[in-house]
Amino acid sequence: MGIAFRRARLEDAAQLVRLVEELGYPSTTSALHARLERLFAEPGQAVFVADAGGALEGWIHVQESLSLAAPPAGLVTGLVVARAARGAGIGHGLMDAAESWARARGLGSMRLRARLARTGAHAFYRRLGYTLAKKQLQFRKALV
Asked whether the beta carbons of 105 and 71 are under 8 A apart, the reply is: no
CATH number, domain with residue 32:
3.40.630.30
Strand-pair partners of 2: none
Q: What is the DSSP string of 113-125?
A: ---TT-HHHHHHH
Provide the domain limits for residue 36.
Answer: 4-127
| Residue 27 counted as domain residue | yes
Q: Quote the pTM value.
A: 0.94
Number of domains in the chain: 1
Pairing of strands 110-112, 73-81: parallel
| Residue 32 counted as domain residue | yes
Q: How far is CA 124 from the centre of its chain?
A: 14
Each residue's pLDDT tens digit, 67-84: 999 999 999 999 999 999
| Residue 142 counted as domain residue | no
Each residue's pLDDT tens digit, 107-125: 999 999 999 999 999 999 9
